[in-house]
Every structure is written in structure tokens, then in C-alpha cells.
Amino acid sequence: MKERILFAFVLLLVPIASAQVYTISDLGPLAPTAINIWGQVAGNLNGQAFIWTQFAGRKGLGRLTGGTFSYASGINDLGVVTGTADGPGTVISNGLGQPPLYPSPPPNQECSDLTQPFVWTPGKGMKGLGAVEVPNPNFVLDWCDIPFYGASINDLGQVVGYTSIFGPEYQYGLVRTSAAGMALFGGSWPPTFASRVSNTGQIVGQSDSSPYSGHATSWKNGVATDLEWLGGAAGLDYFSSSANGVNDSGQIVGWSTTSLVSDDACWAFGPGDITGCPMHAVLWKASGEILDLGTLPGDLFSSASNINFFGQVIGTSGTTLVFQEAAGTARSGLFGDSPTGVVGHPFIWSESSGMQDLNTLISASSGWALNSATGINIWGQIVGLGTLNGKTHGYLLTPRFF
């Protein structure tokens, strides 16, 4: 609602923002992951979640009792942060996590060290959300050993995330609400990942009904929609795509392969010849139409990471793909080798200006080389990582009309 209240004011600024000349603020060694409407930044430093504000600077959010790490992945407009941390937690028994012949559903499992989603609030600090058993018909598992990740939070306090791949065939998306607690969604195979949740409750990520590749997927009111790809209609097995961001208007961004994927030519069963099947950043309009956002000149790949209310898209364009999964910080697709991102130059895209390298929109004498863009808010402020005089730092870009 507050985004719509601000609409008339921001609309006056859009023509100015289309010039996209930014001032840059140094966030120090903080690695930012998200920014909210008030310019509060969630990020990470030395294995701990942080929040950054303009007037107070960096503040560590701590860890769960006895935990060894915390990782912030999202922040809502109320200043509530979500992410992943380890520490004491409860795995709720639902009777679905045991084989059919198991004598009886066990009680909830209390874990001394569970990797789980968390929420942090200014008044109450960090709280672990625990987890819920995952349907598993073949064998009994120690659920304390299975990581559960938090990815995004909206203004209603809904948290989405995903389980790790285990078994090796079982992996689900997670959604947590204050009323219903933690619940699973998606399918057990292929894997389901939830990347972002909008204030309207729309969840986006990656899932599929085929055994070969992940498809960008949107979930609304419990109904999954397989999104189209750049090569044609949805439903084909041999393509790959992922949805990484969504705004309250239902616009979705991510990436899609531009040609069919085969197991000996691309990444369905390994990186293979990735130059033979490039992926591009895409925008799925609320109508379902898919737009190819292209790449920066000379690049092979691009991926969009987020979109704000006014359709400004951020992401990265380059010549190198990221396949590595890092616990709590990234996720991989099928068998751990589906690309999760691009290494190169951060971009901003708008319908009026197309794709622009953010490095060309800051002062040439700033000493900065920008490497990634991870978050954008309604005002067009952008956070990400870069190098300042050769050292890796987080940055905040602010349009000069601020």
C-alpha cells in the first residue's frame, strides 16, 4: 500500500532517474544482500548477519544461542531481517517424514544444532524458526542433520526458503507464516527452490516436473505456474530457467536459456559446453509475456536478480557462470551444477533505457569497480559488491535526485 501512496511522487522522479547518474556510498567490508524502502541494508560480514543504516552504520545481528554462523538474505520494510543460522531448533513431526512401515510418527525432534531460517526484529533480536519434516518414503533420517534455508521475507512477515537436497531425491520449498507456522510446497523431485516472496504473497523460484532441468516457477495461492522460456512455450523438458525476483505488480525477473538443453551440450548433467547454450536475463510480465533483456556488449550471459515496483531490473552480465553452492549463501540446481548466477558487470535495465552497465553511471574518478547488484528499492537505490582501490567492499548507489 505504501508503495502506491508514494507512486505519484516517485513518478515525477522517473524521468530524472532514467539518466541514472548515481552517488555511491561505501559500506565497507559488508556484503549486502537486500535493501528496503527506508534504505536499510541487510548483509553479511565474517560469518554474521548485519544491518546497515545511513546514520547508525553497521550493526551485527548476532547468532542463535550456541550457533556458529548467521547469514542475512532479506529485509522487509518494517526492518525485519530473515536468513539462515545454526543453533537450537525444533523439527515439527507431521508423520510424513518416515517410511510407511515405521511403527508410529515420532514426536517433534529437538535439535541442539539445526541449520534453519531465522527472523530478526529490532525489539526481540534473532529467533530461529525451526523446520518441518519432509516427506521421505524410503528411510528414517536425523532431521537435525538436514539444512533448511531462509531466502526472503515480505511486509506480512511471510518467510520463504528451501530445504537442502538429500536422499538424494528429496528437496522442497518452505513457506512460514505466523498463523500456520512452517509448511512445505513444490515437489520432491526435481528440486524446488523459493527465491523471493512479494507483499501480495506471490512466491517465485525454480521447480519442474521433468527430470532434466529446473524451470522458473511462480506460486500464487498455492497454485504453481511454470513460466515460459526464451525458446518457446513452457512445458518442454530440455530448457532451464529460474525466477529470482518479483514485485507487487506481479512482474518477475530471472534468467532463461536461449536454446534447448541437452545432457552433452549444456548443464543438465554438468557444466559441459556452456558457451553452446547461453542464458539471458529475462522479465516475465504479469500477462505472462517473456522479454529477453539481452546482455551488455561482448558478453555471453546475463541474469536478473531483482526488480522494483516501477520495473527497474538489476542483475549481472558477463562471460562466466556460477555453479558452486555455498551453504547458507547460494543454492544450486539439478545435481548441484545448474548455474546460479553470472560473474561480470552489474546492470540496471528499464523499458525506456534498456540495459546499462552500472560502472558507466558513477563517477569515473570514484576508484570503484562494481561487480554485482543484489538489491533495489522503490527509490531506485541499489546495493551490491565491488572493489574500491583494489579491496572488496559493499556499496550503496543512490540516484542523484535524492
pLDDT of residue 12: 39
Average pLDDT over residues 335-344: 61
Tens-place pLDDT, residues 106-131: 678 899 999 999 999 999 999 999 99
- Pair type for strands 131-132 and 81-92: parallel
Percent of the chain with pLDDT over 90: 57
Average pLDDT over residues 217-222: 92
182 is a domain residue: yes
SS3 136: coil
- 7, 195, 225, 36 alpha-carbon torsion, rounded to 10°: -10
Range scoring the smallest mean pLDDT among 20-34, 80-94, 160-174, 310-324: 160-174
Give exposure, 269-295, as e/b (b: 16+ Cβ within 10 Å).
eeebebeebbbbbbbbeeeeebbebbb
Q: Which three cell numbers stand for residue 129?
A: 524458526
137 is a domain residue: yes
183 is a domain residue: yes
Tens-place pLDDT, residues 137-192: 555 567 888 899 999 999 999 999 998 866 555 678 999 998 889 998 887 666 78
Give residue 271's identity as a one-letter amino acid code.
P
pLDDT of residue 277: 60
Alpha-carbon distance 113 to 400, whole Å?
46
pLDDT of residue 368: 96
Q: In the chain, how many domains are there?
A: 1
Looking at per-residue confidence, does 11 or 385 come out higher? 385
Distance of CA 195 to the CA centre of its chain: 4
pLDDT of residue 27: 98
- CB-CB contact of 154 with 198 (8 Å): yes
Residue 104 has pLDDT above 70, yes or no: no
Tens-place pLDDT, residues 275-292: 556 789 999 999 888 999
Percent of the chain with pLDDT over 70: 75
pLDDT of residue 54: 93
Residue 26 makes CB contacts below 8 A (sequence gap 6+) with 388, 393, 394, 395
pLDDT of residue 21: 86
Q: To which residue does cell 500464487 refer?
A: 220
Distance of CA 238 to the CA centre of its chain: 24
Tens-place pLDDT, residues 253-280: 999 888 765 544 454 434 444 455 678 9
Range scoring the smallest mean pLDDT among 206-210, 342-346, 378-382: 206-210
17 is a domain residue: no
149 is a domain residue: yes
16 is a domain residue: no
Ramachandran angles phi, psi of 373, nearest 5°? -130, 125
Q: Which three cell numbers stand for residue 345?
A: 558487470
Domain extent for 146: 40-189
pLDDT of residue 7: 46
pLDDT of residue 20: 45
pLDDT of residue 328: 37
pLDDT of residue 19: 46
229 is a domain residue: no
Nearest-CA neighbor of 73 among 378, 283, 254, 305? Answer: 305
Tens-place pLDDT, residues 70-85: 999 999 999 999 999 9
Alpha-carbon distance 183 to 15, whole Å?
43
Average pLDDT score, the chain: 83
pLDDT of residue 330: 38
297 is a domain residue: no
